[in-house]
């Protein structure tokens, strides 16, 4: 098969299309003939040598989510059949013509969504469920601040939270991105390059506060986030793109019983990811396509993965970037 290989750590041009052996599914896995693969920021970190693949996963092929057709079943798999169309969360090696995935981490294609579009769903939707709904204990009526609202994570988070009865506030880097966030369901979208998000949200809420903050920025956002949180509010970190060091007001944290937490999805167990898949199928998939839709910015041929990485690094996109096989 053909696969996009990281020939050495470095710039996007180190991504090269190479020949690799087709993988063989384990007893609890399926072999997927890939139609499309999602591009995510962890892929960029892996390309730079900063996010190694877990044991047993090809270290030189990035890609954490795919869509495609089930071509072979592991010996114990009973939940899927050859020919089924699925999208799947994987631990790596998705930039390829074929990939293996745990059967429990595969999902059906939501109603009204194309097989290609479905590749944009697993990594972001699993991440948001894990952090906002599981760790964050979201309830209808919660006020949720999502930083990076126009990112792949952001466009999914806005829709999921809004569809399940939350009030969404978000930040983005241009007026165009802010408008896109509002069309997806954000009550307020703040251009962080022009306005102070803490001040704008405080004025808008007139004394109320935020229940959950999903942050991928870190750095000097940290103290602002803490000042925005309501009593027993939850600050959840999923990246630290600005800086991994942030200032924390410990007294405010204690007085307001705040929770500061975070996670990465890749190291989680197959069993836990399978539970998330079950929750998504039950509670989120029925909301497609009326209340939730994929938001794909553009797609590149598999051989042009370097262009996809260049675009993601530029942050000029709104929503997801795909590779088509």
Please tell me the distance from the alpha carbon of residue 209 to that of residue 199, in angstroms, as a whole number: 12
Helix (H) or strand (E) run with residue 306 in it: helix 305-314
- Please report the beta strands in the chain, taking only residues with DSSP state E, as ranges in sequence order: 2-6, 15-19, 29-39, 65-73, 85-89, 98-102, 106-108, 143-146, 167-172, 188-191, 210-215, 229-237, 259-262, 296-301, 320-324
Q: What is the CATH number of the domain that holds 34?
A: 3.90.180.10
Q: Do 138 and 249 fall within a single domain?
A: yes
Secondary structure string (H, E, C) spanning 43-102: HHHHHCCCCCCCCCCCCCCCCCEEEEEEEEECCCCCCCCCCCEEEEECCCCCCECEEEEE
Q: Is the pLDDT of residue 282 over 90?
A: yes
Is the Cβ–Cβ distance between 226 and 254 less than 8 Å?
no
User: What is the pLDDT at residue 221?
Assistant: 96
User: What is the pLDDT at residue 4?
Assistant: 98
Q: Do 48 and 79 fall within a single domain?
A: yes
Range of the domain at 16: 2-121+266-324
Please tell me the distance from the alpha carbon of residue 195 to that of residue 206, in angstroms, as a whole number: 17
Q: Do 247 and 272 fall within a single domain?
A: no
Q: Do 284 and 302 fall within a single domain?
A: yes
Place of tokens 């997927």: 32
Kindly report the pTM of this predicted structure: 0.95
Give the residue from 172, 67, 51, 62 showing the smallest Cα distance to 109: 67
Q: Do 28 and 147 fall within a single domain?
A: no
Is the Cβ–Cβ distance between 252 and 230 less than 8 Å?
no
User: What is the pLDDT at residue 32?
Assistant: 98
Handedness of CA 143, 147, 148, 151 (dihedral sign): negative
Q: Is the pLDDT of residue 152 over 90?
A: yes
The residues near 116 (Cβ < 8 Å, ≥ 6 apart) are 35, 36, 67, 299, 322, 324
- As a whole number, mean pLDDT of residues 129-155 equals 97
Q: Do 82 and 181 fall within a single domain?
A: no
Is the Cβ–Cβ distance between 74 and 27 less than 8 Å?
yes
- As a whole number, mean pLDDT of residues 126-148 equals 97
User: What is the pLDDT at residue 207?
Assistant: 84
User: What is the pLDDT at residue 53?
Assistant: 92
- Mean pLDDT, all residues of the chain: 97
Place of tokens 């579009």: 117
- As a whole number, mean pLDDT of residues 174-183 equals 97
Q: Do 9 and 64 fall within a single domain?
A: yes
Choose one of 262, 293, 312: the last residue of a domain: 262
Q: Do 9 and 52 fall within a single domain?
A: yes
Q: Residue 4, CB half-sphere, CA atoms under 13 Å: how many?
A: 32
- As a whole number, mean pLDDT of residues 200-208 equals 94
Q: Do 110 and 192 fall within a single domain?
A: no
11-31 pLDDT, tens digit each:
999 999 999 999 999 999 999
Q: Do 213 and 240 fall within a single domain?
A: yes
Residue 108 tokens read as 């059906």
- As a whole number, mean pLDDT of residues 113-139 equals 98
Choose one of 262, 280, 305: the last residue of a domain: 262
Q: Do 28 and 105 fall within a single domain?
A: yes
User: What is the pLDDT at residue 304?
Assistant: 98
Choose one of 231, 262, 293: the last residue of a domain: 262
Number of domains composing the chain: 2
Q: What is the CATH number of the domain that holds 141?
A: 3.40.50.720
Residue 229 tokens read as 């949180």
Q: Residue 242, CB half-sphere, CA atoms under 13 Å: how many?
A: 14
Is the Cβ–Cβ distance between 161 and 144 less than 8 Å?
yes
Is the Cβ–Cβ distance between 188 and 169 less than 8 Å?
yes
Q: Do 223 and 304 fall within a single domain?
A: no
Residue 240 tokens read as 């630290």
């Amino acid at each position: 098969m053909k696969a996009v290989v990281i020939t050495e750590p470095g710039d996007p041009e180190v991504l090269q299309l190479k020949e690799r052996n087709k993988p063989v599914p384990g007893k609890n896995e399926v072999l997927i003939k890939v139609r499309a693969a999602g591009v995510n920021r962890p892929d960029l970190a892996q390309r730079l040598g900063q996010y190694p693949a877990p044991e047993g996963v090809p270290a030189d092929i990035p890609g954490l989510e795919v869509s495609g057709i089930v071509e072979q079943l592991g010996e114990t798999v009973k939940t899927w059949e050859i020919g089924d169309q699925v999208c799947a969360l994987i631990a790596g090696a998705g930039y390829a013509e074929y990939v293996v995935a745990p059967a429990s981490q595969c999902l059906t294609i939501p109603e009204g969504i194309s097989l290609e579009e479905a590749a944009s769903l697993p990594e972001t939707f699993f991440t948001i469920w894990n952090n906002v709904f599981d760790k964050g204990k979201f309830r209808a009526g919660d006020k949720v601040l999502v930083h990076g609202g126009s990112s792949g994570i952001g466009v999914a988070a806005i829709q999921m939270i809004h569809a399940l009865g939350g009030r969404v506030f978000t930040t983005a880097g241009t007026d165009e991105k802010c408008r896109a966030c509002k069309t997806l369901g954000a009550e307020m979208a703040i251009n962080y390059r022009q306005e102070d998000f803490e001040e704008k949200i405080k004025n808008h809420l007139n004394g109320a506060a935020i229940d959950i903050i999903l942050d991928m920025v870190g750095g000097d956002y940290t103290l602002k986030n803490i000042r925005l949180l309501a009593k027993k509010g939850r600050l959840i970190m999923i990246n630290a793109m600005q800086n991994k060091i942030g200032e924390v007001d410990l007294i405010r944290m204690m007085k307001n019983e705040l929770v500061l937490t975070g996670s990465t999805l890749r190291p989680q167990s197959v069993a836990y990811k399978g539970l998330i898949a079950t929750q998504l199928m039950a509670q989120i998939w029925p909301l497609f396509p009326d209340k939730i839709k994929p938001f794909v910015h553009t797609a590149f041929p598999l051989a042009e993965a370097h262009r996809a990485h260049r675009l993601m690094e530029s942050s000029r996109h709104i929503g997801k970037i795909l590779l088509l096989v």
